[in-house]
Amino acid sequence: MTAHDPEANPFSTVSATRLAWIGLGGNHPDTLSRMRRALVRLDRHAGLTLLAFSPLYRTEPVGPIRHQPWFWNGVAALACRTSGPRALLRLLQRLEREAGRDRGHEIHWGPRPLDLDLLFFGGRVIRSRSLILPHPRLHARRFVLRPLADLAPGWIHPTCGKTIDRLLDEVDDTARIIRLGRMGVDSERLIREP
């Protein structure tokens, strides 16, 4: 089974095995500036090229802690010429820490300054203590599927064999989600070939 349908995927110029999808989110007052900094840092990192960033969404909190600020959410596409999935995950976790996230002291499902989730790395399926790919809950989260579908509706989830559009149509998540514009990041920098 292939993780990439070239006719449905606008990123077909990048080898599907080197294409990573990152979910970005957070709900602190300065989350947008932290997201911008993370995107710039990812794009400037050796071996990575930021290809695109989805429209931005405001999303209602999910889980048991409903009384907290709504989240900002989006998805980025990266070409990874040299980094593998584990190295990319370590970079994402470092960027979260630098943005003020302390996973050891935060409340599960609670507020966070920046969340960077590795959703897919090509069509790889990995199940280890430190990394699970595809992201284990992305198929059940509208706030991930909606921006992902804006970028790659025909991308095929490697374990369930369904397109992102199909997963979005089938998702049971009823949390409210509101589409906003882009984050004011220069689109010339975001959408270019590696």
Query: What is the C-alpha to C-alpha distance for residues 49 and 189, in angstroms, rounded to an integer?
Result: 10
Query: What is the C-alpha to C-alpha distance for residues 17 and 126, in angstroms, rounded to an integer?
Result: 14
CA angle 3, 63, 132 (to 5 degrees): 30
* Strand pairing class (115-121; 19-26): antiparallel
Task: Look up residue 80 and give its two tokens.
Answer: 């990874």
State the amino acid at position 53 in one-letter form: F
Counting every residue written for the chain, the total comes to 194
Query: What is the C-alpha to C-alpha distance for residues 163 and 61, in angstroms, rounded to an integer?
Result: 25
Task: Write out the catalytic residue numbers.
Answer: 101, 112, 115, 117
